[in-house]
Structures are given as structure tokens and as C-alpha cells.
Amino acid sequence: MVVKDRKTKKAIKGLNVKLKIFTKDKYNVHTIKTNEYGLAKFDTSLLTLGKHKVLLYSGNNKYYISTKSLIAING
């Protein structure tokens, strides 16, 4: 995921992005940080097999990030 300023179109570095990853009824919250290019990466090897619903949001109240996704881990 790449995080950019909406007005200037420049990458935002050092922003904490929180991932709320749901597996059935339970969820885990992971925090990742954007690099100098505004890119935030998450290591999917931490997830178990199956489908996971993912919600992304900003860990900083100065910025607004919101999106949903679905990750499928096959064995």
C-alpha cells in the first residue's frame, strides 16, 4: 500500500498504518510504518491458512486512511 498526500501527491514517510486482520470471529491488530516512498508492507507469513478480512486505518489522527481488503492464504 502506498500512502500519498491528496493535495501535493507526495509520499508520506514514517506514518504508522494499523491493520486489523479478522480470522472468523477473532482479530489481531498489526502496526506497520511507511518508508521514504510512502510504501507500507506487511509480511503475510504471519497469517494462518484461510481467508482473512483486513481493515486499514491510520495510527495517527492527523491523517485519514480507510480501506478494506480480503486476503486468501492457500497451502
Candidates 13, 11, 22, 18; CA nearest to 32 is 18
d(CA 14, CA 44): 21
As given in the structure block, the three cell numbers for residue 54 are 483486513
Dump pLDDT digits (tens) for 3-44: 888 889 999 999 999 999 999 889 999 999 999 999 999 998
69: number of Cβ within 10 Å: 12
The full 3-state SS of 33-69, as one line of letters, equals ECCCCCECCCCHHHCCCEEEEEEEEECCCCCCCEEEE
d(CA 7, CA 10): 8
Per-domain residue ranges of the chain: 16-73
Q: What is the pTM of this model?
A: 0.78
